[in-house]
């Protein structure tokens, strides 16, 4: 279980996500990635191996955005490849995950039977597909997210971006830690206090089963 960072802010987000991920390197990881909302739609940058590899990808293809999420992965399901690196994207949903979705095989079979096509071998990707499917049923992202959480067994800390939700980050935890950081016109989400440490000392620890909806204002 590795690192998560999310920032809904006003400054350039990519360098801030990278800075946080470097602070989480001590936890060990095999790949890393970030996603940010560019014109209301997420773009991803991912790389195998060290964060410097991700920095090289970003140097080739910069991300100009102020809202984003980042992840260092310690593979549990699927090899440590770029395709299996987080963030994972399905339709309008992009997310990162720490932990293990124990019922992923059953969920994947259900989604595959409905025509969903998977790009990775991870347990995580099913969560993105589930949420995208729930968003088809109603446009209320928070209600859709809660319905998805009810379907998951296992351990998770999640940070989620949805295309069209220009400054929102959804988060939830069960079995894996997640903290909220409070800034001035900015909010942060992190797998521990170190992740949000560069930005704020004002932190709330989520409790088991909590979910959170972050916007710049709170
Ligand atoms: N189970 C997920 C995967 O293998 C997340 C691993 C992690 O916590 O980094 O991609």
In ligand 1, the atom with minimum distance to the C-alpha of 75 is 4
In sequence order, what are the residues at sequence separation of 6 or more whose Cβ sits closer than 8 angstroms to the Cβ of residue 62? 14
State if residue 20 touches ligand 1 by the CB under 6 angstroms criterion: no
Q: What is the pLDDT of residue 1?
A: 63
Q: Supply the pLDDT for residue 18.
A: 98
Element (H, E) at 174: strand 169-174
pLDDT at residue 2, as a whole number: 84
Report whether residue 75 contacts ligand 1, using a CB cutoff of 6 Å.
yes
In 3D, which of 92, 100, 45 has the Cα closest to residue 68? 45
Locate the ligand 1 atom nearest the alpha carbon of residue 124 and give its number.
Answer: 2
- Which residues have CB under 8 Å from 60's CB, separation 6+? none
Mean of the pLDDT values across residues 207-211?
98
Whether residue 166 has pLDDT greater than 80: yes
- Is there an atom of ligand 1 within 6 Å of 174 CB? no
Q: Is the CB of 176 under 6 A from ligand 1?
A: no
Q: Which tens digits make up the pLDDT trace of 9-44?
A: 999 999 999 999 999 998 899 999 999 999 999 999
Indicate which atom in ligand 1 lies nearest the CA of residue 176.
8
Are 183 and 163 spatial neighbours (Cβ–Cβ below 8 Å)? no
What percentage of the chain has pLDDT greater than the value 70?
Answer: 100
Ligand 1 atom having least distance to the Cα of 1: 8
Q: How far, in Å, from the CA of 1 to the mean position of ligand 1?
A: 6
89 lines ligand 1 (CB under 6 A): no
pLDDT at 33: 98
Compare 2 and 12 and report the one with higher pLDDT: 12
The answer to whether 134 and 170 have CB atoms below 8 angstroms apart is no
Judge if the beta carbon of residue 100 lies within 6 A of ligand 1. Answer: yes
Q: CA angle 19-205-192, nearest 5°?
A: 30
Average pLDDT over residues 1-10: 92
pLDDT tens digits, one per residue of 52-63: 999 999 999 999
Q: What is the mean pLDDT of the chain?
A: 97
Q: Given this model, what pLDDT does residue 150 score?
A: 98
């Amino acid at each position: 279980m590795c690192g998560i960072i999310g920032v809904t802010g006003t400054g350039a987000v990519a360098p801030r996500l990278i800075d946080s991920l470097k602070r989480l390197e001590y936890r060990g990881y095999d790949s890393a990635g970030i996603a940010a909302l560019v014109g209301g739609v997420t773009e991803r940058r991912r790389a195998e191996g060290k964060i410097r590899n991700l920095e090289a990808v970003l140097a080739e293809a910069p991300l100009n955005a102020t809202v984003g999420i980042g992840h260092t992965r310690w593979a549990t399901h699927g090899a440590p490849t770029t395709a299996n690196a987080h963030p994972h994207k399905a339709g309008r949903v992009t997310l990162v995950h720490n932990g293990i979705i124990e019922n992923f095989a059953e969920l994947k079979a259900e989604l595959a039977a409905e025509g969903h096509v998977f790009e990775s071998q991870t347990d995580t990707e099913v969560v993105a597909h589930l949420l995208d499917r729930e968003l088809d049923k109603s446009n209320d992202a928070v209600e859709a997210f809660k319905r998805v959480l009810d379907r998951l067994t296992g351990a998770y800390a999640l940070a989620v971006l949805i295309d069209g939700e220009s400054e929102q980050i959804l988060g939830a935890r069960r079995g894996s830690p997640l903290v909220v950081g409070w800034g001035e016109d900015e909010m942060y989400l992190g797998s521990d206090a170190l992740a949000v440490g560069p930005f704020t000392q004002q932190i709330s620890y989520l409790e088991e089963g909590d979910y959170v909806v972050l916007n710049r204002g709170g």
